[in-house]
Amino acid sequence: MKIELIKSNLSKINRDCEIVFVVNKNLKHKWVVDSKALKSLNFTGTQSEVATVENRIYIGVDFSDIDDMRIASAKAIQTLNKLNFKSAKVGIYGDSDRVRAMVEGFILGNYKFDKYKSQKFESKLKKVSIALESFKAKKLKSKDIESSIESAKVIATSVNFTRDIVNSMPDELTPKELAKIAKKVAKESKLDCIIEDEKFLKKEGMNAFLAVTRASTNGPRLIHLTHKPKRAKRKVVIVGKGLTYDSGGLSLKPSNFMLTMKADKSGACATLGAIQAVAKLNLPIEVHAIIGACENMVGGDAYKPDDVLVAKNGTSIEVKNTDAEGRLVLADCLCYAQNKIKNIDNIFDIATLTGACVVALGEYTTGVMGFNEKLKESILNSSQKSGELSASLPFNKYLEKLLTSEVADISNVSSGRYGGAITAGLFLSNFIKRENRDKWVHLDIAGPAFVEKPWGYNPYGASGAGVRLLTQWLKDISK
Ligand code: BES
Ligand code: ZN
Ligand code: ZN
């Protein structure tokens, strides 16, 4: 679907149909030409309410929350996809941020995952033309609008790309395959690309990562992509959990919990999506995307509860549960990142790390953890702008104590029953160098990464959580 800006008034553009947003239930606006018909259809213009009159699609939108624009425009596209129109036109509602939300909504709402369906999804709608005419009769700067549309296209396309990889089945999307995709992204976006396998992990003493991958016939990959602009303002590292499958290992998951664990690579895929967007937007930030990709499987040589693993930084870890594997992979990848990359300004990790985070915050919200309140605040702020939900989960010294082990430096799971998202974050903090403590933030996307009941502009399956949040934060610090 093509989205274009036309520098003329709405009435001057001829398209098969028109999308009209009904803002705050105002049926009196001049673009609402069918108010009588709408009334007879009992259309009141509540958020995301849709009505079609001839070739005009009306959708209600609330202006109080900008994300409602994304939700409404996604709904508009989904409605149009069921009709027979080839092209549509629409005006501009509000400022450039709202235009961006509208375009993101079109692209996110247009997403369908039909890779494994014999009947492919095909939409008649090929083009949406945005007229340079303001709903509020304000003068618009076409440069700002154009750049908003461009940004929206880049970001939403990267979200859909991320959704595609996460949705791909585990038998196909192995660590090796993920590395292949990363290589392709690197080539297209002119990123430096390093791919390492088991041999390298052994050489580097990444024994926690190696233990997790051991029972799998699909070998691990460490993926490291770099966006290195000429005059970079900052250096940011993003480490993604890339469990292409998490069976739980010997601490095997019950079958209904194992289902959807193809999505345990969501952090890795979001990292890829974000660096792709950053490169396309050519942000003046040096960004490193580091992915630990492997499977957590069962087998005769599987790592066991009771094992003690020595991570790359020398910390010994008592394995009490092989299903708490993501933190083991991330531990070594965080060590690798901090050894390999000098003078880091910020380091993030992003992972579908704990079911406890979903219990704490619900399935729509990312958990944000770390020692630096200001940094966390800036993440929450960018997240809000991006349309992703996130909330801070605070560390404390009592929860930290729950990771003590009788036999090793730390245990891979907490001895307590509660606060599992935070103790997982605190576990990771053991692998953050002292000088990087205040530069680090941990993002737990276990809730929003995979959608079982559609919400907002997210259909069933991967949501691409993290891509917009990270890209927005990197955009915000570029200013
Ligand atoms: N990948 C899971 C976490 C998860 C759960 C992601 C639900 C998405 C949805 C992770 O590896 C895991 O199994 N964590 C355990 C940790 C526990 C053993 C301390 C969990 O959350 O139950
Ligand atoms: Zn697990
Ligand atoms: Zn996992």
DSSP track, 194-240: EEE-HHHHHHTT-HHHHHHHTT-SS--EEEEEEE--TT-SEEEEEEE
CA-nearest residue, atom 7 of ligand 1: 355
- Residue 258, classified by CB atoms within 10 Å of its CB into exposed (0-12), middle (13-18) or buried (19+), is middle
Of the candidates 473, 479, 208, 227, the residue with the CA atom closest to the CA atom of residue 366: 473
The protein residues having their C-beta less than 5 angstroms from ligand 2 (an ion) are: 246, 323, 325
- Cα 342 to averaged position of ligand 2 atoms, centre (Å): 31
φ, ψ of residue 68 in degrees (nearest 5): -65, -25
The alpha carbons of the chain give a radius of gyration, in whole angstroms, of 23
Widest distance between CA atoms in the chain: 76
Q: Which atom, in ligand 1's list, is nearest to the CA of 243?
A: 1
- Decide: 448 in ligand 1 pocket, CB within 6 A: no
pTM greater than 0.95 (yes/no): yes
- Cα 192 to averaged position of ligand 2 atoms, centre (Å): 31
What's the token pair of residue 432? 């953050």
CA 242 to chain centre: 13
The protein residues having their C-beta less than 5 angstroms from ligand 3 (an ion) are: 243, 246, 264, 326
The CA distance from 224 to 246, in Å, is 22
Say what angle helices 96-109 and 142-167 make with each other, to 10 degrees.
30
Provide the pLDDT for residue 138: 84
- Residue 14, classified by CB atoms within 10 Å of its CB into exposed (0-12), middle (13-18) or buried (19+), is exposed
- Decide: 352 in ligand 1 pocket, CB within 6 A: yes
- Count Cα neighbours of 107 within 13 Å in the Cβ-side half-sphere: 23
- Decide: 446 in ligand 1 pocket, CB within 6 A: yes
- Cα 18 to averaged position of ligand 1 atoms, centre (Å): 46
Provide the pLDDT for residue 205: 98
Residue 177 contacts residue 281 (beta carbons within 8 Å): no
Q: Which are the contacts of 456, defined by CB distance < 8 A and separation ≥ 6? A: 67, 70, 71, 74
How much of the chain is helix, strand and coil, in % rounded to 5? 40, 25, 40
Q: How high is the mean pLDDT in each 10-residue block of the chain (479 residues)?
A: 96 98 97 97 98 98 97 97 96 96 98 97 94 91 96 98 98 98 98 98 98 98 98 98 99 98 99 98 98 98 98 98 99 98 98 98 98 98 98 98 98 98 99 98 99 98 98 97
Please report the beta strands in 24-72, taking only residues with DSSP state E, as ranges in sequence order.
50-53, 56-61
Provide the pLDDT for residue 123: 87
- Decide: 26 in ligand 1 pocket, CB within 6 A: no
What's the token pair of residue 445? 């996307």
What's the token pair of residue 300? 């005769």
Residue 106 contacts residue 160 (beta carbons within 8 Å): no
- Decide: 244 in ligand 1 pocket, CB within 6 A: no
H or E stretch including 334?
helix 326-340
- Residue 122, classified by CB atoms within 10 Å of its CB into exposed (0-12), middle (13-18) or buried (19+), is exposed
- Decide: 444 in ligand 1 pocket, CB within 6 A: no
Q: Which atom, in ligand 1's list, is nearest to the CA of 296?
A: 11
Q: Which atom, in ligand 1's list, is nearest to the CA of 353?
A: 3
Of the candidates 45, 108, 49, 98, the residue with the CA atom closest to the CA atom of residue 457: 108
Question: Of 323, 445, 450, which is best to mutate to test ligand 1, by the most ligand atoms within 8 angstroms of its C-beta?
Answer: 323
- Decide: 413 in ligand 1 pocket, CB within 6 A: yes
Which residues form the catalytic set? 253, 327
What's the token pair of residue 273? 């999506």
Look up tokens 């390298």; give the residue: 200
Q: Which ligand is nearest to the CA of 244?
A: 3
Residue 160 contacts residue 77 (beta carbons within 8 Å): no
Neighbours of 418 (CB within 10 A): 13
Neighbours of 395 (CB within 10 A): 18
Provide the pLDDT for residue 262: 98
